[in-house]
């Protein structure tokens, strides 16, 4: 069992031996939220899709089950996760349907207007500069492109002990303002309650938000 400070570190940047414990937790704990996130989109044929922070790419297959003609890019800060994601999704990578690249949301290594859809699940807490991150996402989105940010609510996360180590937490209003103040139409925010089991074995009821905004 890892301590809460190490848990927070690994959730931010999964690397090394302890990353396996955390990615297993994320693979289980994020399953419902990932599906909830994908429900916010209509994935049209040949859409260019960017995910910020896919970790080991465990859920990428779910995306292609909805539309197998997509072009997917996953951007992550962890070299270890990129290696695992390439292995886990080797067929999609080999076929040219998916790629995994190293990078940071505040300095995206992509040309302007490269993507139709961008989404991210449980990464916003760790952005070093959310305003710059939103500006970068807007830059690489095509006109009328869609952005979904999925997070756990501040009211939920504040009760989890690992969040005292470097997490920036958000209320529904905070999330709404993040979109409206940074070049997106007012976000439509959907919420969902679910039970998850923490690595400690404790089951908790949590609230999640999915915010969908359009580039303006």
* Cβ-proximal residues to 75 (8 Å cutoff; 6+ apart), any chain: 50, 51, 52, 53, 54, 100, 101, 102, 103, 105, 108, 109
Domain positions in the chain are 4-214
The span from the CA of 203 to the CA of 140, in Å, is 39
Q: For every one of its 216 residues, what pLDDT tens digit does the chain have, with 9 covering 90 and above?
A: 578 888 888 888 888 877 777 777 777 778 899 999 999 988 888 899 999 999 999 999 999 999 999 999 999 999 999 999 999 999 999 999 999 999 999 999 999 999 999 999 999 999 999 999 999 999 999 999 999 999 999 999 998 888 999 999 999 999 999 999 999 998 999 999 998 877 667 788 899 999 999 999
Question: For domain 4-214, which architecture applies?
Answer: 3-Layer(aba) Sandwich (3.40)
Whole-prediction pTM? 0.93
Nearest by Cα to 72 from 125, 30, 114, 131: 114
Spatial distance between the Cα atoms of 196 and 16, rounded to a whole number of angstroms: 25
């Amino acid at each position: 069992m890892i301590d809460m400070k190490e848990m927070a570190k690994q959730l931010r940047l999964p690397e090394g031996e302890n990353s396996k414990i955390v990615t297993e937790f994320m693979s289980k704990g994020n399953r419902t939220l990932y599906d909830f996130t994908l429900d916010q989109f209509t994935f049209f044929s040949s859409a260019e899709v960017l995910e910020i922070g896919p970790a080991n790419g465990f859920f990428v297959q779910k995306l292609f089950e909805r539309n197998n003609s997509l072009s997917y890019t996953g951007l992550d800060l962890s070299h270890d996760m990129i290696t695992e994601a390439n292995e886990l999704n080797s067929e999609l990578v080999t076929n040219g349907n998916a790629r995994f690249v190293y990078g940071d949301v505040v300095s995206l290594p992509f040309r302007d207007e490269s993507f139709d859809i961008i989404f991210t699940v449980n990464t916003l807490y760790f952005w070093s500069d959310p305003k710059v991150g939103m500006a970068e996402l807007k830059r690489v989105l095509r006109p009328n492109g869609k952005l979904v940010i999925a997070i756990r609510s501040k009211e939920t996360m504040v009760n989890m002990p690992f969040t005292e180590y470097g997490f920036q937490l958000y209320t529904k209003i905070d999330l709404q303002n993040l979109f409206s103040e940074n070049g997106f139409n007012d976000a439509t925010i959907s919420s969902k309650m679910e039970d998850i089991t923490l690595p400690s074995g404790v089951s908790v009821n949590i609230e999640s938000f999915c915010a969908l905004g359009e580039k303006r």
